[in-house]
């Protein structure tokens, strides 16, 4: 007899939709693990669909299609208005519940709901990096009981967090983690290497929808910094986002510009980037936008920005939008353990969440 | 209160020694998982040390040092003679036992012990590929209950099996697995690429102890074929070792030679390999010794031998002894998920076993 596991999901965007689809499609794996995943609530920013026993498959699919067409759950036939995720967890949670966050919501929006969930013994599965990259005290609170999964926050579905956890569990000493965690920045650095101007490739990436509406949200490196911080904290470091030595791909005075001004002045950045690229190339090295994470007992360092890597570095072989992460440790000292592959996309991000859900289910 | 988990370990060679060391060093991880790993038996080919409650740390360390100096457990102060692993499992097993195989013993030697263990509800953690690459019926029997871990059989400590399991559990459709799983063959192919003659590099690898005493044990590709078969069976294929399309790095008539004759005639193979290398190079491609595993509902194919890979293939970037595996699936279709790193060595192989032990412990 399969044990029911109750799911409350925040967000029904592309990742949330992919996850509901995968949950419905994996009845067989669930049975193998002796569990039966049941959605009791699906929420977006101001609406929700709920059912105490379980939302029917047809209802979940209809909600998903409704969102794809641009609808809001509050306006769905079976939906209702809600703007309090904590209250939703309060009313819909019961023993063996997992609260899933597929949003990019601000920490303050979701943290009270997470806090309540953990206090009730529920588990959390997060694709949302922001609550995990918020104050260290919040990280400590969220991770203290080990009832949290966040594989999808770094490298989407790539087994990054699980591999790190495995190295730590088997008592390996992880000395350094290096990686490239942004497909968009990977594309831009690749274009730069091919001689395309920085401004032209930013314009192209923006036109193709590969950047955020304001490309500075990618170019700032802030998203990479959050991922680096999550890795460092998983390694046991006590650090804040402000401790990351972060170098954006634009000068400080470009931060205050309006989006239109920024786009208009993009060409001013070309010589700077071209010079950097040339200098690195002349040394026989490679310029990659990435993160270097070193956590020691005395000091830790977290560097995010354009990295100069030599030809021996696994990052040197990286072209295009793939993510790549290399773990250097006592056991992997001569040569690192490397994981590489697409690190973004709805289906692979959802699979990272689903992997967490399957694992967490067995401890509820 | 931590739950005691009882360990019966076959083999105390380099991997077995590394595992005992890691088990003793991971008390903290064990506590975090709510378990307490206790050795109740350590066995080698004809001896054992046993203690029903738990072998003391000092005894385990002394046994390990004794083996390092070339001793046999039967001759250890606290050891006794045994040549029946099934009887050992029978007398030393109890609820919540894991039987660990760090040997390269023949299937018939260990299978009866495994069978008894599973019938009693114990779990198995194997670094030994042979029982898993034996008859399909034996595979079915060993894996039926899901109480088996074999991460260490492919890529040592690299997260190969766990990643494959994760893809399957989350309902991804794995269309192809390609990989290089032999550091020794990786070295030889790398030398070939640099223009070194095949015979010279085999002689060098043998002199350095990187090959088995009879290099044909590596050059046959049989070990790679076993790993490919394990991957294919994990994917659900019903196949035997004989179904692998296996191309050794020597012609069939060299198989019957004595070791001395084989070594004496090694130079005869040079033109053949050099020609292959040249032909592949002229096409702008790369020659790698590896495995290609495709498992379909209708037909499956398992190819092990020298593979011609183009520059886009992740295997093209591989130099030297690293293992590399790429997973192609419905979700990872445009670009594969790739794992790379050292795939052999006592410490990393033991860590693969320990990861399995920690995971299995939670379901006993």
DSSP letter string, A166-209 = HHHHTT--EEEEEEE--HHHHHHHHHHHTT--HHHHHHHHHHTT
Averaged pLDDT of chain A: 95
The total domain count for chain A is: 2
Q: Is B227 a catalytic residue?
A: yes
Q: What is the pLDDT of residue B317?
A: 87
Q: Do B317 and A317 touch (CB under 8 A)?
A: yes
Q: Do A159 and B163 touch (CB under 8 A)?
A: yes
CA distance A157 to B291: 24
Q: Spell out which residues of chain B touch residue A332, defining contact as CB-CB under 8 Å.
A: 341-342, 348
User: Is it the case that residue A102 has pLDDT exceeding 90?
Assistant: yes
Q: Does any domain span residue A68?
A: yes
Q: Spell out which residues of chain B touch residue A348, defining contact as CB-CB under 8 Å.
A: 331-332
Q: What is the pLDDT of residue A29?
A: 87
User: Is it the case that residue B148 has pLDDT exceeding 80?
Assistant: yes
Residues B201 and B63 in one domain: no
Residues A187 and A238 in one domain: yes
Q: Does any domain span residue B162?
A: no
| CA-to-CA separations, B362 to A30, A89, B4, B35, in angstroms, rounded | 17, 28, 11, 8
- Paired strand residues for A339: A325, B339
Q: What is the pLDDT of residue B297?
A: 82
Residues in chain A: 364
pLDDT band with cut points at 50, 70 and 90 for residue B363: confident
CATH number of residue A52's parent domain = 3.40.50.720
Q: What is the pLDDT of residue B28?
A: 87
| Model ipTM value | 0.95
Q: What is the pLDDT of residue A303?
A: 97
Q: Does any domain span residue A47?
A: yes
Q: Are A359 and B362 contacting, i.e. CB atoms less than 8 angstroms apart? A: no
User: Which tens digits make up the pLDDT trace of A130-163?
Assistant: 999 999 999 999 999 999 999 999 999 999 999 9
Interface test with A, best of B3, B33, B328, B331 (most A CBs within 10 A): B331
Residues B221 and B286 in one domain: yes
Residues B149 and B282 in one domain: no
User: Which tens digits make up the pLDDT trace of A248-284?
Assistant: 999 999 999 999 999 999 999 999 999 999 999 999 9
Q: Do A29 and B339 touch (CB under 8 A)?
A: no
Q: Annotated catalytic residue: which of A67, A206, A227, A294?
A: A227
Q: Are B5 and B98 contacting, i.e. CB atoms less than 8 angstroms apart? A: yes
Residues A236 and A222 in one domain: yes
Residues B262 and B292 in one domain: yes
Q: Spell out which residues of chain A touch residue B26, defining contact as CB-CB under 8 Å.
A: 169-171
Quick check: A311 contacting B, CB < 8 Å? no
Q: Does any domain span residue A163?
A: no
Averaged pLDDT of chain B: 95
The tally of CA atoms less than 13 A away on the side-chain side of residue B100 is: 37
Q: What's the domain range around B9?
A: 3-157+347-361
Residues A279 and A315 in one domain: yes
Q: Spell out which residues of chain B touch residue A155, defining contact as CB-CB under 8 Å.
A: none
Stretch A310-319: mean pLDDT: 90
Residues B36 and B63 in one domain: yes
Q: Which residue has the tokens 């966050």?
A: A101
Quick check: A15 contacting B, CB < 8 Å? no
Angstroms from A340 CA to nearest CA on chain B: 5
Q: Does any domain span residue B163?
A: no
Residues B126 and B236 in one domain: no
Quick check: A3 contacting B, CB < 8 Å? no
**Per-residue tokens: B252:** 């069939």
Residues A76 and A205 in one domain: no
Angstroms from A25 CA to nearest CA on chain B: 7
pLDDT band with cut points at 50, 70 and 90 for residue B299: confident
Q: Does any domain span residue A162?
A: no
| Coil/strand/helix, residue B148 | strand
User: Which tens digits make up the pLDDT trace of B156-194?
Assistant: 999 999 999 999 999 999 999 999 999 999 999 999 999
Stretch B205-217: mean pLDDT: 91
Residues A189 and A325 in one domain: yes
User: Which tens digits make up the pLDDT trace of A106-132?
Assistant: 999 999 999 999 999 999 999 999 999
Residues in chain B: 364
Residues B176 and B143 in one domain: no
DSSP string, B113-127: HHHHHHHTT-EEEE-
Q: Does any domain span residue B355?
A: yes
Q: Are B338 and A340 contacting, i.e. CB atoms less than 8 angstroms apart? A: yes
CATH number of residue B205's parent domain = 3.30.360.10
The tally of CA atoms less than 13 A away on the side-chain side of residue B352 is: 30
């Amino acid at each position: 007899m399969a044990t029911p596991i109750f799911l409350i999901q925040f967000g029904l965007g592309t990742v949330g939709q992919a996850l509901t689809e995968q949950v419905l499609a994996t009845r067989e794996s669930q049975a193998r693990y002796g569990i039966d995943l049941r959605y009791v609530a699906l929420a977006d920013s101001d609406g929700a669909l709920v059912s105490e026993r379980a939302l029917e498959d047809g209802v979940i699919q209809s909600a998903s299609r409704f969102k794809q067409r641009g609808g809001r759950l509050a306006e769905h036939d079976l939906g209702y208005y809600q703007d309090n995720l904590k209250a939703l967890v309060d009313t819909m949670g019961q023993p063996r519940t997992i609260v899933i966050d597929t949003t990019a919501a601000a920490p303050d929006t979701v943290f009270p709901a997470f806090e309540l969930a953990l206090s009730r013994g529920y588990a959390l599965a997060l694709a949302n990096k922001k609550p995990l990259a918020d104050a260290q005290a919040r990280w400590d609170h969220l991770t203290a009981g080990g009832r949290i999964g966040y594989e999808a926050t770094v490298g989407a579905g790539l087994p990054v967090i699980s591999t790190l956890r495995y190295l730590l569990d088997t008592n390996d000493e992880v000395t350094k983690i290096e990686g490239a965690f942004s497909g968009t920045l990977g594309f831009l650095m690749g274009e730069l290497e091919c001689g395309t101007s920085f401004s032209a490739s930013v314009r192209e990436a923006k036109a193709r929808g590969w950047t955020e509406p304001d490309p500075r949200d990618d170019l700032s490196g802030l998203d990479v910094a959050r991922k680096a911080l999550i890795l460092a904290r998983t390694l046991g470091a006590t650090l804040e986002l402000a401790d990351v030595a972060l170098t954006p791909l634009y000068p400080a005075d470009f931060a205050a510009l309006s989006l239109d001004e920024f786009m208009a002045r993009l060409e001013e950045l070309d010589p700077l980037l071209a010079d950097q690229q040339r200098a690195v190339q002349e040394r026989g090295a490679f310029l990659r936008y990435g993160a270097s994470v070193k956590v020691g007992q005395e000091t830790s360092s977290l560097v995010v920005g354009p990295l100069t890597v030599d030809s021996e570095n696994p990052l040197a072989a990286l072209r295009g939008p793939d993510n790549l992460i290399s773990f250097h440790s006592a056991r992997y000292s001569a040569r690192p353990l490397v994981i590489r592959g697409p690190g973004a996309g709805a289906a692979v991000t959802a699979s990272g969440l689903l992997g967490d859900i399957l694992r967490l289910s067995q401890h509820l």
